[in-house]
A and B are shown apart, each in its own frame.
Chain A
Amino acid sequence: KQEVTQIPAALSVPEGENLVLNCSFTDSAIYNLQWFRQDPGKGLTSLLLIQSSQREQTSGRLNASLDKSSGRSTLYIAASQPGDSATYLCAVDNAGNMLTFGGGTRLMVKP
Chain B
Amino acid sequence: DTGVSQNPRHKITKRGQNVTFRCDPISEHNRLYWYRQTLGQGPEFLTYFQNEAQLEKSRLLSDRFSAERPKGSFSTLEIQRTEQGDSAMYLCASSLRGSDYGYTFGSGTRLTVV
Contacts and interface: CB of A to CB of B under 8 A. Distances in A.
Interface string A15-48: 0000000000000000010101000011111100
A44 B105 contact: yes
Nearest to B100: A51
Interface residues of B, number: 27
A34 B89 CA distance: 20
A48 to B, nearest CB: 9
A44 B91 contact: yes
Nearest to B50: A97
B42 A49 contact: no
Contact of B91 (A32, A43, A46, A96): A43
A102 B43 CA distance: 8
Contacts of B105: 36, 43-46
A100 B45 CA distance: 7
The interface residues of chain A, by DSSP majority, are classed as strand
Contacts of B55: 97
Interface residues of A, number: 25
Interface in A42-71: 42-46, 49, 51
Nearest to B109: A43
Contacts of A97: 48, 55-56
Contacts of A49: 100-102
A18 to B, nearest CB: 25
A34 B104 CA distance: 11
B107 A42 contact: yes
Given A32-B102, A49-B102, A89-B42, A98 B33 contact: yes
B107 A4 contact: no
A79 to B, nearest CB: 26
Contacts of B72: none
A45 B106 CA distance: 9
Interface of B: 6, 33, 35, 40-45, 48, 55-56, 89, 91, 93, 97-98, 100-108, 110
Task: List the 10 shortest-distance A-B pairs measured between CB atoms, nearest first.
Answer: A101-B42, A43-B107, A44-B105, A49-B102, A98-B45, A43-B108, A34-B102, A43-B105, A103-B42, A101-B43
